[in-house]
A and B are shown apart, each in its own frame.
Chain A
Amino acid sequence: MRRSAGRTFAFSLALSAVLSAGAARSSIAAPAGLALRDVRILSTRDGQLIAVPRGTVLVRDGMIAAAGEAIPIPEDFEVLELAGRWVLPGFIDAHTQIGARGECDEVSEAITEDLRPLDAFDPWDEEIERALLRGVTAVALSPGDRNVVGGAVTVVKLLPERVPVPVASREAAVKASLGRAVLGSGSFPRYPTAPSGAVDLFGRWLRASPARSAGEGAEKARVPVLVRAETRSQAEQALSLLSGAGRQAILLAGRSLDRRALDRLAPSCPVVVGPYDLGDHELLLSSAAALETRGVPLAFSSGGERRDLLTSAVLAMRAGLSRAGALAALTENPARLFGLEGRIGRVEPGAAADLVVWSGDPFTLSARVELAIIEGEIAARAPPLPQPPKLEAPKKPAKPEVVAR
């Protein structure tokens, strides 16, 4: 329903563009593709900013066919005239429980390796459209922090009201946690109840997983482990256990892992940070910038519902993160972390056409998402802006005025 409305909108835009151009094109035949014309493209490649001040993006079969300056638009393409609007790759949330309404941990056991939050994903959750209108087109759907091994992390695209299909055939990562939330207590008697228990359980799980053996298990063991650590000691234990087991690690940094702690930890694995809030301390906000200078691949997490990925990035930028670093951390870095490099997260030929059209520079926080496009289809569009008051209401004269000439 919504998508068809979106399509109609796109179509009417295209139609008006066609009419204004005065070209006699047939609107009956299905267009072969979509062209976003007169756009400012901002993307990254290997952490380098790629900016096209005035360009065109061509979309065919859900993929980006071409992007850049002076690209000829084929005759049979639908054209969106975007008058200098900004086009960025859709953002990728590196850790979220969106669509699960906060119910994604099966806490009766501490190790639920095979659990998939994808199975509890609600495509009718209104948070999905909200996230799209914040520029997020794909998420790493992940278990929460309450189990030592929570389950599979799956990257899905945020198509509202549609059952999600994982972007890749295999899972993107396994979620683990050594944070306080995994601990059982008197009212919740489950092993572990102490941090040492959590480490023990995590170590046992790693030894049991067939990292170096061949066969079906080996494929599974090649998947990185996204591990939540809140303190430096938790992070050190997690990372040393993972490297001992020959597993790839992605550190999901908790709020106590601020710049100082991360400097001492000096992680060599990718780090997922955030969400950041307005009131957060400089030491926390500047950790992203510190990781960037160390050359650590960085991604952002919204941590769940209603948190804005872009705000986290902008707060990190205010604390020193570069523009290229922020954009990469929102797009190509998470794609790479989850083995999807080149498939999503960039505006370049061959990548999926997951594009977001912004009214201006998103990093000012004063630009809004006008269209979110997933694989060439409009997944969400912004509601119309409230109209400013008319300064002078036209008064109806009681009698028609007679003007003497």
Chain B
Amino acid sequence: MRSYVPGYEIEAPRTLSEALERIAREPGVWKPFAGGTDVMVLLEAGKLPHRRFLSIWKLPELRGISVTPEHVTLGALTTYSEIRRHEILAREFPLLCRAAAETGSVATQNRGTIGGNIANASPAADSPPALLVSDAELELISARGARWVPYQGFWKGYKQIAMREDELIGGIRLPREKSGWAHFYRKVGTRRAQAISKVCFAGAAHLDAGRIADVRIALGSVAPIVLRAVETEAILRGEKVSPAIVAAAQETLASEITPISDIRSTAHYRLRVAQNLLAEFCETFVA
């Protein structure tokens, strides 16, 4: 334990409005603390400069999964375990469920939350690629009200998200329209469990008479943010899968992503694997 633990404050507001009022009154002073699976690791490592936290873990308004004919909406505090256990998510959002199953371990999944994951904004996070492919929207709440923003574009840069200091993530809304699409998710990590991803690929394709009528592709760990590969999607949209099209898509992908070499892997490996996963994705919907 490398931090001076007595120097940290964490308090539990009893209601969501109390929490929002406090962060509105002193923006930037209090940071939200959900399941702690990211923050506590930083505390242990002596790398947590921020000292004052509001525990939102027990706030009921941020929990629960609601279903309408058009959407499934997850409260920000929905844990990965809850995602995995939800029948409709399992059926219609296999990418998100796969991501949840591959995040950490059972113990991490019981405490890690989808809202916390989004707010932490790590480019190696497992769920954001699935959320991007699903065209997720985020509800950002504050003492002043609430607003919905598309998740696409929310992520501005390395660990930077377009959220005000007085806002919290309230929920994540997923349109149900892609349930008939072909889905593909693959996380390539350092080992088969409890691994940080080296490359994470999420894709969904809507096929119509053998053509890719529409497609979504998102990748993690190959750029400062988790990104939608929109140019690669454009190459594939409207086409029939063929070796030439796949090769063209792979080439475009190489120009869209900016993998780096770091403690875990190399730029060359990440690039090659991202391209191979793209090909693997395309193969899943060749008859």
Q: Do A and B bind each other?
A: no
Q: Which residues of A contact B (CB under 8 A)?
A: none
